Structure 1
Amino acid sequence: MKPFLILQLRPETEAADDEFAALLDKGGIAPERAVRVRLEREALPAGLDLAETAGVIVGGGPGCVSDPPAAKSPEEARIEAACLGLIPEILARDHPYLGCCYGIGILAHAMGGTVAKGRYGEPVGAVTCEVTEEGRRDPLLAGLPERFDAFVGHKEAVEVLPEGAVALLGSAPCPYQMIRAGRNVYATQFHPEADAAVFETRIRVYRDRGYFPPGEADALVAMCRAAEVEVPQRILRRFVERYG
């Protein structure tokens, strides 16, 4: 059975390890079926053949594709270039792809959409997502609740959907919570692997990275613990089951 290629962008080891464990757990991916690449410290595998993978999953991270080049560290620029370099082949092959948070920005930017910080950023916490008409017909969403909560926290977002992409989920603050290109290329603005415990770890790790005032960390943790967030993890598992 082919493995999933999991690309991680988080330079903080605690957050990266926790994200990887959550992707395996919530996605139902056996460890031996995951090829993990932490792009901040290593390059893509030499001679990578996408046809030999079940799909590509791109995790989240503190970088923003919309930042000007001068504002990006060499590490961030290298990570972004590695991810962007895969998208043309993914789209041409219609190869299974699931971009999570940062991954939606990468996909939309590569397709010519507008990704920016001006309109649709969302504070850390749970937001209610609503299935679109197109989403009701999508195999990853069919039969799921029409409205459900998901964990978000992002400075940039897709502002103009690229040609060739369709919106599957939206929220009041952010109209593009989940999109699809072709039949098999997906991306979410929310974090489909995250439950309250996962988000608690990220709140602690990123409390000084500008997502929220550091003094609000305890209140955000309490809010996440009180939220009922489970449908996004079912979407992740459906992706894995469909393509694995």
Structure 2
Amino acid sequence: MKIGILECGTNRPEWAEYGRFADWFPPLLAQAGVAFDVQSWLASEGELPDSADVCDAWLLTGSPASAADDAPWQQALSAFLAPLIDRQPVIGICYGHQHLHRMLGGRVEECSDWGVGVQSYPVSAAPDWLTPEAAGEGFDLIALHHDQVTQPAPDTLVLAGSAFCPYGVTRIGTRTLTFQAHPEMDPAFAALVYEFERHRIGDAATEAALATLDRPRDTARAARWIMGFLAHHLEEPT
């Protein structure tokens, strides 16, 4: 299995020690115990593959950008994805989740509050590519977003969510799986961003978010969902 990672943003130069967004996904996905290769493109700088055939599946990362910006790179990314969305599996993480919903007919808007800290997303529908035992009861994952999906794309099945973030994990159509949270994010990096954005998040919300970062997180479960989804669809004829 070869996964193409479409990076939708870059780290601040002073945070270079944490690596590129694409660097965080191989360690996450390896927790599922499934063999895979990756190749990445910096989509936010205009890098895109010449053909969708170079990879078996695609993953869109988070981003400091808003999915509602409609910048040229975002339009180019949507144009690349549109022909493959029904024939190759696609994963969207945070910004990627929002981008995919918006390009497929949903709505993304700024929240009144930030989604920060380790958030809980109870499972509301067992995915058809996993057994109920493997699906689990929910996810505790790091969140970092001010925008979120307020109207999902047509043909969306909500798999997990919360009162604050009802569209936390979704399947759009049959071949697109999205997570609003960041299963790949390191707590130390999340703390750095929360402090950087403290003036926007607010002191009380920042302190509350920081206090959650030592909680256990369901990163291995997220990896099993993602890799199980990809394997399931790559075994099916397009």
Equivalent AA in structure 2 for residue 130 of structure 1: P
Is this contact kept in 2: 1:154–1:211, CA < 8 A? no
Structure 2: where are the runs of 5+ without partners? Answer: none
CA RMSD of aligned residues (A): 3.0
Question: Hey, what's the Cα distance between the residues in 1 that align with 2:117 and 2:48?
Answer: 32
Distance 1:110 1:41, change over 3 A: closer
* Corresponding pairs, count: 226
TM-score (norm. length: structure 2):
0.80
**Deviation sequence 1:211-231 (CA, Å, 0-9, x none):** 634797676444212344333
The match for 1:200 is: 188
Aligned pair partner of 1:178 in 149, 169, 177 = 169
The match for 2:74 is: 80
Is this contact kept in 1: 2:118–2:215, CA < 8 A? no
Question: Hey, what's the Cα distance between the residues in 1 that align with 2:76 and 2:106?
Answer: 19
The match for 2:44 is: 40
Find out whether 1:20 has 2:22 as its counterpart: yes
Q: Equivalent residue of 1:138, what SS?
A: coil
Give the fraction of aligned pairs with identical amino acids, expressed as a percent: 21
Q: Equivalent residue of 2:86, what SS?
A: helix
Find out whether 1:125 has 2:110 as its counterpart: no
Distance 1:162 1:35, change over 3 A: same
| 1:91-240 equivalence runs, <5 A | 91-93=85-87, 95-118=88-111, 122-132=114-124, 135-140=125-130, 142-143=132-133, 144-194=135-185, 198-205=186-193, 207-209=195-197, 212-213=201-202, 220-230=209-219, 231-239=221-229
Distance 1:163 1:40, change over 3 A: closer
Question: Hey, what's the Cα distance between the residues in 1 that align with 2:206 and 2:17?
Answer: 16
Aligned pair partner of 2:63 in 61, 65, 79 = 61
- Using the TM superposition, give the Cα deviation of residue 92 of structure 1 relative to its aligned residue in structure 2, in angstroms: 3.4
Question: Hey, what's the Cα distance between the residues in 2 that align with 1:214 and 1:79?
Answer: 34
